[in-house]
Amino acid sequence: MLAGLIVAFAILSLNVLQLTRFQVAGVDFSCFWAGARAALHDPSRLYDFQYITNLQGWPLGPEKLRPYVYPPSALFLFVPFGLAPYWPAYGLWVVATAALFLWAGLKAGAPWWLLLLKPVALVIYCGQITLLFAALVIGALAILPRRAIWAGVLFGIAAAVKPQLALLVPIALLAEGRWRTLAAAGLTGASLVAASMIVWGVEPWFEWVSALQRFQPVIFNDPSLLEDAITPYAALRTQGWNGAWAFLLAPLVVALVWRTLRASTDVADRSIAVLAGALLVSPYAMNYEAALLAPAVAAYLARTGDRRWFAYAAVALVYAFAYEASPVGVLAVLAVLTLPFLRGVYTRRQHGLTDAAPQTS
């Protein structure tokens, strides 16, 4: 049964190749690459949307802006790739981020075939940063019990690159009283911010805040882009409602993270709480961000000896087939959130039992 699911997921991933009819490979990585080139040669135009779009030169039409909207602190990760021509840089980016993602997935109990899940294939084709961000957060959660300081360093880098998806990391650390890790994360993030100011000045930070405000209409006024978002905020906007109602989920999500971190030592459970929770409270996250949950989904599917395996498989199918469109994508995120409950984390906690070692095939 598991082998059949893996084959089905692999075949589903091949559908990503249909994108070749609409866009070139690495269309998202091109934004990072162009931002890095601008930082190297003309930092004053880093958040000039039209300049960054022209620098890429992709045949998407002049009305399709492809801006760089990541904070200046993220440039330290992108600049090395901006030193190389586009195609070698894209190839190196894919290999490096996929390798780190696989390392983190293995640490979470996922098998190698997590790379066959379609959200992962989508990220690889687009060249997005999702695999790297997931590797940083999940890797940090995996090493947290043994290397608290290094876990904090990884968390700090993740927050400096994509702060909106790292919002729940402090809650997770506070739940366990991980003060040294929290301090290390804060110091790492602050150091990257300070270093970016030394290298590129303070002005890019003000321009970044302005760029975020200018970027929102690019997404929320484009129905084709909004339909690919997978957050409750975007789902409400898609239906013509006020997206701010989605923020009412915040207390529930915070409680979920707090309870999970205190009840379970399982890396898959923890990554679901921190990452799926972030998707539920973030205004903007596209369908490729579903790859953040791939290691946890694969880890659960690998537990073939668990009597609840068919429930895990059902959740995995929802995740694999429903993540691509909002508001259906929100259902896929919520489905993945049920995995720790299916495993009975809180029930075992109440009975004084510890988490059993995951059973793999």
Beta-ladder partners of 229: 286
Mean pLDDT (whole number) for 259-278: 94
Q: What percent of the chain has pLDDT over 90?
A: 71
Q: What single-letter DSSP state applies at residue 229? A: B
DSSP string, 325-357: STTHHHHHHHHHHTHHHHTTHHHHHHTTPPPPP
Q: What is the pTM of this model?
A: 0.92
Q: Which of 1-5, 73-77, 252-256 has the lowest mean pLDDT?
A: 1-5
Q: Does 95 score more than 70 pLDDT?
A: yes
Taking only the tens place, the pLDDT of each residue in 122-134 is: 999 999 999 999 9
- pLDDT band, residue 61 (cuts 50/70/90): low
Peptide bond into 327 cis (omega under 30): yes
- Which CB contacts under 8 angstroms, 24+ apart, belong to 207-216? 207/46, 207/47, 208/47, 208/69, 208/71, 208/72, 210/47, 211/47, 211/49, 211/67, 211/69, 212/69, 214/49, 215/49, 215/67, 215/69, 216/284
Which residues, 6+ apart, have CB-to-CB distance to 191 below 8 Å?
156
Provide the residue ranges of all domains of the chain, joining segments of one domain with +: 2-350
Note the pLDDT of residue 347: 60
- pLDDT band, residue 349 (cuts 50/70/90): low
Taking only the tens place, the pLDDT of each residue in 215-252 is: 888 777 777 777 888 999 988 988 889 889 999 999 99
**Alpha-carbon distances, residue 90 vs 23, 74, 127, 136, 324 (angstroms):** 15, 17, 7, 20, 24
